[in-house]
A and B are shown apart, each in its own frame.
Chain A
Amino acid sequence: MQNSVPISDDAHHQPVAKRAPGSRKAVGRALVLLASLGFLLVLLIQVLRTTGTITAGFSDWRPILIAYLVWAAAFGVGQVLTRGERGQRALFLLPAVFFTVAVVIFPTIFGIYIASLDWNLSSIEGPRFSGFDNVRGMLNDTYYWNALGNMVFYTVAVLGEYAIAFGLALLLSAEIRARKFFRVVFLLPMMLSPVAVSWMIGKSLLEYRFGPAATLARYLGWDNPAFFASPWMARFSIQAMDAWVSIPFIMIILLAGLQAMPKEVQEAAKVDGANGWQSFWHVTFPIMLPVSITVLIIRIIFKLKLADIVINVTAGGPGGATDTVSSFIYRVYRDRSNVGYGTALAMVYLLLIIVLLTLMLRASKRWTQKVE
């Protein structure tokens, strides 16, 4: 990508030429071809070395990474040489595309391959192809289904977070003093690392013996304030912590929506004699519906990744009651080093997420259209 800048200056000397001249085109094509051959050669050598056919080669695969970078740079230069102005435009997009292909698309495809292996990193025998055995194992894995069930709870709980966040956004958009102070304070929890929050709240504030929350609960008459002992209580406690961290995000988006709302609409509702409650349900809420749906979908996407807090506070316990899919797979790897099985679980989860989100986007589109 560094190479591209001088070349673009080079092209700038002949701004009239929309298409590059023939000789430059040939050079560009040759460059890309050469780079591709070089990349394939390095790859071939390394593959042969790994399979044990030849002894030459590199000790690890890092040269492949460098070869890929060189190839990507050569491809970019080749684009400019062969396609001129249009090549220069492509140069804006190419770095991000090459990067994404290298770190997302390739690992995901590789992951699908791993998912079909019986591969335990701690056992002596290496990976062994097992087809759909991992998926079959998953069907009988009650812990996985349990984790999926918990995800349903956590996802539905987003509605609760939304309700609180909406309330806070309304409070902040009311006529109050020191609005800036409250806004900064309400935003703070979002900035904190979930791991630190796990300790600050999960392990110390909610601690059974001398956490202040437990002390308060005892004072209020709850004899046995164990926040993580019974399954439902533990689930609610984890959810409360996650809500504490993420409500600010929802609140900020809703607040921006409320502030963008035309003032006249509410004035009109007031003139029509609507009280606060009515004007909220008949005016504010419908106008905020598109923003609400967007923020809910984004929030659900992030909720489906929930792991840090669960891993650090309960490690999925008691008896898997608080497990999320991510934290469960984390333990499958950490405790059993089962790469193949863990990846298979993750891939199934990804499929489920894609299906769920597609349905949600469809539904939300239809719904917002109906309202309009």
Chain B
Amino acid sequence: MVISTVASNPIRKRPAAPRARRMLGRALIYAALLLWTFICLFPIYWTVTTSFKSAVDVTQAHLIPWVDFQPDWKGWRSLGLSPDTLFGTSTARSEFMNRFVNSIITSVGASLLALVLGSLAAYGLSRFRYKFAWMRNDDILFFFMSQLILPPVVLALPFLVLYKALALLDTTFGLILLYTLTVLPIVIWIMRDQFNAIPIELDEAAFVDGLSTWGAFLRIILPLAVPGMVAAFILSLVLCWNEYFFAALLTSTDAKTLPVMVASQTGSQGINWWSMAALSTAAIAPLVVVGIFLERYIVSGLTTGAGK
């Protein structure tokens, strides 16, 4: 709403463009915006509504609830999540909850670990000058960033063999290690930017007050870096939550995450659309909520991560 007051200014400055043409231009802009809004939202809308449809409504492509079909808890019942089955026992629900919890533990665990490792490394790289053999700070940073180009396939099979030997196959801990690795470069990049933005005079003042290197970092600098940490954490969370490739190869029963469960259901032919739709809805719902309410942090994480 603030935008509209700013917006009216430059329009008036424009010299004598015919009023009709300007109106047409604005109409086109809004039409394009609405078209893309439709493209973004329709698949989500379709999935959510399909989870309430019966077979007939699916085959006849009914779209609007209460108008051309009567919503029903069908999809959610098959997951054991509809109101009438919610308090009974349900194997489908316990399986789903298990995967859901696995996904939460894996993504939160990996994001936290990456945040700890990444913040420490980023602070070091932003404040001190290291020399390791021929590697200087920039080389070390490049070493960390270069992990981004590593496609998952390169690591997947060696990890399969290694994890078998380490008895880490199909464990949440094993997945956490891998996910940490995939998001660590991004966390280091965001956090280094964050620490660079904090004036070094603050560190020096802390040293004068008698704090050690670590004391200054933990008590003075870290609290100031919280916004960057939140952004890095949420971005990592999104990436880990959606990761499929490693999870599909390295888990079988115990540590399966939600994407693997969704994928294993799509694979079978003749699946019920409504239960698939309910499952997909449940899998995307947490991130849709994150996207709507924490959009600010994601944008700030992305723009420091890539915009510079």
B181 touches A301 (CB 8 A): no
Residue with the greatest number of chain A CB neighbours at <10 A, chosen from B6, B42, B140, B149? B149
Cβ 8 A contact of A196, one of B184, B213, B283: B283
A99 touches B44 (CB 8 A): no
A64 touches B166 (CB 8 A): yes
Cβ 8 A contact of B153, one of A168, A195, A346: A346
- Residues in A neighbouring B36, C-beta threshold 8 A: 168, 171, 186
Alpha-carbon distance between A189 and B39 when the two chains are bound, in angstroms: 10
* A88-B213, A312-B266 known; A193 vs B154 contact (CB < 8 Å): no
A354 at the binding interface (Cβ < 8 Å): yes
* A171-B33, A257-B307 known; A184 vs B125 contact (CB < 8 Å): no
CB distance from A182 to the nearest CB of B (A): 6
Alpha-carbon distance between A176 and B7 when the two chains are bound, in angstroms: 7
Contact stretch, chosen from B58-66, B74-82, B83-91: B58-66
B288 at the binding interface (Cβ < 8 Å): yes
A92 touches B121 (CB 8 A): yes
A336 at the binding interface (Cβ < 8 Å): no
B124 touches A89 (CB 8 A): yes
Output the nearest chain B residue to A342 by Cβ-Cβ distance: B157
A52 at the binding interface (Cβ < 8 Å): no
1/0 per residue, CB under 8 A from B, across A189-215: the answer is: 111111111111101110001111001
Cβ 8 A contact of A330, one of B123, B177, B245: B245
For the complex, count residues of B whose C-beta is within 8 A of A. 107
Alpha-carbon distance between A330 and B152 when the two chains are bound, in angstroms: 10
B120 touches A93 (CB 8 A): yes
A333 touches B249 (CB 8 A): yes
1/0 per residue, CB under 8 A from B, across A147-185: the answer is: 000000000000000000001100100111101001111
CB distance from B247 to the nearest CB of A (A): 10
B200 at the binding interface (Cβ < 8 Å): no
CB distance from A195 to the nearest CB of B (A): 4
Q: How many residue pairs at the A-B interface have CB separations less than 8 Å? A: 306
Cβ 8 A contact of A103, one of B14, B181, B242: B181
A95 touches B32 (CB 8 A): no
Alpha-carbon distance between A197 and B303 when the two chains are bound, in angstroms: 24
1/0 per residue, CB under 8 A from A, across B108-149: the answer is: 000000001110110111001010000000001001100111
B196 at the binding interface (Cβ < 8 Å): no
- Residues in A neighbouring B153, C-beta threshold 8 A: 307, 325-326, 329-330, 342, 345-346, 349
- Residues in A neighbouring B140, C-beta threshold 8 A: 93, 97
B106 at the binding interface (Cβ < 8 Å): no
Residue with the greatest number of chain A CB neighbours at <10 A, chosen from B30, B178, B307? B307
B263 touches A198 (CB 8 A): yes
B46 touches A204 (CB 8 A): yes
Contact stretch, chosen from B93-101, B225-233, B294-302: B294-302
A239 at the binding interface (Cβ < 8 Å): no
B149 touches A301 (CB 8 A): yes
B212 touches A12 (CB 8 A): yes
Q: How large is the interface on A (under 10, 10 to 19, 20 to 34, 35 or more residues)?
A: 35 or more
Which secondary structure dominates chain A's binding surface?
Answer: helix
B33 touches A176 (CB 8 A): yes
Output the nearest chain A residue to B124 by Cβ-Cβ distance: A92
CB distance from B112 to the nearest CB of A (A): 13
CB distance from B156 to the nearest CB of A (A): 8
B262 at the binding interface (Cβ < 8 Å): yes
* A108-B154, A183-B295, A199-B266 known; A193 vs B167 contact (CB < 8 Å): no
1/0 per residue, CB under 8 A from B, across A252-294: the answer is: 1100110010000000001000000000000000000001001
Cβ 8 A contact of A301, one of B148, B157, B259, B291: B148
- Residues in A neighbouring B147, C-beta threshold 8 A: 100, 104
CB distance from A357 to the nearest CB of B (A): 6
- Residues in B neighbouring A182, C-beta threshold 8 A: 33, 37
Output the nearest chain A residue to B129 by Cβ-Cβ distance: A89
* A103-B177, A111-B154, A193-B244 known; A210 vs B59 contact (CB < 8 Å): yes
| Closest CB pairs A-B (n = 4) | A92-B124, A175-B7, A96-B121, A12-B212
Residues of chain A having any CB pair with chain B under 8 Å: 4-5, 8-9, 11-12, 15, 60-62, 64-65, 85, 88-93, 95-97, 99-100, 103-104, 107-108, 110-111, 114, 167-168, 171, 174-177, 179, 182-201, 203-205, 209-212, 215, 244, 249, 252-253, 256-257, 260, 270, 291, 294-295, 298, 301, 304-305, 307-308, 311-312, 325-326, 329-330, 333, 339, 342-343, 345-347, 349-350, 353-354, 357
Could you list 12 examples of A-B contacts with CB < 8 Å?
Answer: A93-B130, A183-B295, A187-B291, A195-B242, A215-B61, A260-B307, A295-B306, A298-B306, A312-B266, A333-B157, A333-B160, A346-B151
Residues of chain B having any CB pair with chain A under 8 Å: 1, 3-4, 6-8, 10-11, 14, 29-30, 32-33, 36-37, 39-44, 46-47, 50, 58-61, 63, 116-118, 120-121, 123-125, 128, 130, 140, 143-144, 147-162, 165-168, 177-178, 180-181, 184, 188, 210-215, 217, 238, 241-242, 244-245, 248-249, 258-260, 262-263, 266-267, 273, 276-277, 280, 283-284, 287-288, 290-292, 295, 298-299, 302-303, 306-307
